[in-house]
């Protein structure tokens, strides 16, 4: 098999169809990073990671991802055989600390290239597909109750989504919880409702508001407290019946082990980018399953390329108690691949083509790259 000849990293900015409001920022344009790894025969492995709100969500900015790959990771790749992606990433892990998003971008491009060299779907290289489709949630994050209800009803009518997540970390907690209640009254009989706090509450606020949310019938509370507050998350998990999900706190394998050990939640949100790639995501899913934790297939709001990667890895994991939310492409005005995602009967369909099943649109890449 042919060895790696070049590694190119591009930063792109894609506009969204509507503002997407989170606790720390409102997204109207999403910054994403595209990786392109070529071999000596001209085959190309492609990948994507997305970040949310620059440095307001996490430490990995798109600028840092590109700079650290160019300077510190690429030298470990040139001349290597991509089929040994596990060994390559082990070498990278020993030489580069942290940088999970950068490592994920490189690992997934290596896997895509290795799969294309063998002309097989990428999921055959990391366990094989279990699911042909997965339940797909939608985030109602316009910030307006009436608009969110109309949006939810339209999604139900189209059979696109019957799981809805509400972002309620920004603004007055009492008002936000009433907002959730109105949406449950409107569509709760036809759907499942979860909420995401994005670390915005202190423990006092969480105690009051989770009680109200639990009584309303919310099925899951995502990351109510800051990532450092393991003890507070454990107290909330012990106190309430509603599931407490760790997202931003569950980054590395070691973070997740600590959450499980201390019961600082009872469910984990998976995201290949935040874990450092597919191999680490599979490890985290395994220890969460062993501990009886529920799994949620999370998103960094990737476009079609990153979304296909997440769909492929999630298709190899046995159970998602809370479904997935890999809806990212549906939030964008445009895409960077020739293919689009397919949603049918409330579920996203898993691509079966070679690699991750998508082809980079070179004209769109040239248009949106910085």
What pLDDT is attached to residue 28? 77
pLDDT in tens, 102-158: 999 999 999 999 999 999 999 999 999 999 999 999 999 887 899 999 999 999 999
270-298 average pLDDT score: 97
What pLDDT is attached to residue 60? 85
274-289 average pLDDT score: 97
Q: Is the pLDDT of residue 42 over 80?
A: yes
pLDDT band of residue 1 (cuts 50, 70, 90) is confident
What structural domains and CATH numbers belong to the chain? 4-121+360-368 (3.30.390.10), 125-349 (3.20.20.120)
pLDDT in tens, 242-266: 999 999 999 999 999 999 999 999 9
What pLDDT is attached to residue 165? 96
What pLDDT is attached to residue 52? 80
pLDDT in tens, 313-333: 999 999 999 999 999 999 999
What pLDDT is attached to residue 100? 97
Q: Is the pLDDT of residue 160 over 90?
A: yes
CB 230 within 8 A of CB 252: no
What pLDDT is attached to residue 25? 67
First to last CA, the chain: 33
17-24 average pLDDT score: 70
Q: Which residues does the annotation mark as catalytic?
A: 167
CA distances from 244 to 225, 233, 236, 259, 277 (A): 10, 8, 7, 11, 24
pLDDT band of residue 59 (cuts 50, 70, 90) is confident
234-242 average pLDDT score: 98
């Amino acid at each position: 098999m042919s060895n790696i000849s070049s590694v190119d990293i591009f930063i792109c900015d894609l506009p969204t169809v509507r503002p997407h409001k989170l606790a720390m920022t409102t997204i109207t344009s999403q910054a994403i990073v595209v990786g392109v790894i070529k071999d000596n025969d001209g085959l190309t492995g492609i990948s994507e990671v997305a970040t949310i709100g620059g440095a307001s969500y996490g430490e990995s900015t798109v600028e840092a991802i590109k700079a650290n790959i160019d300077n510190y990771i690429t030298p470990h790749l040139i001349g290597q055989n991509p089929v040994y992606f596990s060994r390559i990433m082990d070498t990278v892990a020993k030489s580069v600390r942290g940088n999970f998003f950068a490592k994920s971008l490189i690992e997934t491009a290596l896997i895509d290239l290795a799969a294309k060299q063998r002309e097989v779907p990428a999921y055959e290289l990391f366990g094989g597909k279990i699911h042909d489709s997965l339940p797909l949630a939608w985030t109602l994050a316009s910030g307006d109750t009436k608009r969110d209800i109309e949006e939810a009803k339209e999604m139900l009518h189209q059979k696109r989504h019957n799981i809805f997540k509400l972002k309620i970390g920004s603004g007055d907690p009492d008002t936000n919880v009433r907002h959730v209640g109105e949406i449950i009254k409107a569509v709760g009989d036809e759907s499942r409702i979860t909420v995401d706090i994005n670390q915005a509450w202190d423990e006092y606020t969480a105690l009051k508001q989770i009680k109200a949310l639990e009584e309303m019938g919310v099925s899951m509370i995502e990351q109510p407290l800051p990532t450092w507050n393991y003890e507070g998350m454990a107290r909330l998990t012990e106190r309430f019946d509603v599931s407490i999900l760790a997202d931003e706190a569950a980054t590395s394998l070691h973070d997740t082990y600590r959450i499980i050990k201390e019961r600082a939640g009872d469910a984990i949100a998976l995201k290949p980018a935040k874990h450092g790639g597919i191999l680490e995501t599979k490890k985290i899913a395994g220890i969460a399953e062993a501990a009886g934790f529920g799994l949620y297939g999370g998103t960094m709001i990737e476009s079609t390329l990153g979304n296909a990667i997440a769909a492929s890895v999630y298709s190899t994991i046995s159970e998602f108690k809370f479904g997935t939310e890999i809806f990212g492409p549906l939030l964008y005005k445009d895409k960077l691949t020739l293919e689009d995602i397919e949603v049918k009967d409330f579920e996203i369909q898993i691509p079966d083509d070679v690699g991750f099943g998508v082809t980079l649109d070179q004209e769109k890449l040239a248009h949106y790259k910085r």
